[in-house]
Amino acid sequence: MQSTTEPTAAQQAFEKLLDAYKAQKHHLIVEAQTEDEVDAATETLCQIERKIWQTPAPDLRAVLVKFEIANEDTEMPPPDATASILADLRRLSGQTVSPIFQPDLWLVEWESHGGSYLVRNGEALICGDPTKPRHRSLARAMEAANGAEAVKAMVRQCCKGMTEEAEA
């Protein structure tokens, strides 16, 4: 029995990205002839892929599409693709924080690589250097584990009883 429900706006937006991806892939393989055309088509395809990783999957089919794209041309998916797929699966499954994510250990590693945190007006802020690969990697891991709120709760706990603006 087929569903007669209309696609949601999120599904339509994802399908539009998928159509753009397929059209650009066709252009790259069939139409681009010179090295400059291939380079330009490849860059455009990479931009579309980045948009796909940044777009939350509206359903499990979209997660599967992301997984297939991530594994299509490479032996190892890009880190952004992996984080995006894990976050989608976690969100769509209703799971909150990953059962293997340990916010206390994450903070120890964050600090050992020069990251810091503070509490301002009751809000926990995580401070890092986006130019440092390890900071980007740790931020992706926290995002993929849906661990931001758990880390912020840990920061608030660590800074409890300190001055109004506490920093570690």
- Looking at the DSSP bridge assignments, the partners of residue 127 are 116
Give 140-152 pLDDT, tens digit per residue: 889 888 899 999 9
Q: Which range, of 14-23, 98-107, 139-148, 156-165, averages the lowest pLDDT? A: 156-165
Mean pLDDT of 19-23: 96
The dihedral region occupied by 56, where left means phi > 0, alpha psi between -120 and 50, and beta the remainder, is beta
Name the one residue in this structure whose structure tokens are 């989608």.
88
User: Biggest alpha carbon distance in the chain?
Assistant: 65
Give 113-131 pLDDT, tens digit per residue: 999 999 998 899 999 998 9
Burial class for 115, CB neighbours closer than 10 Å (0-12, 13-18, 19+): buried
Q: Check residue 97 and give its pLDDT.
A: 84
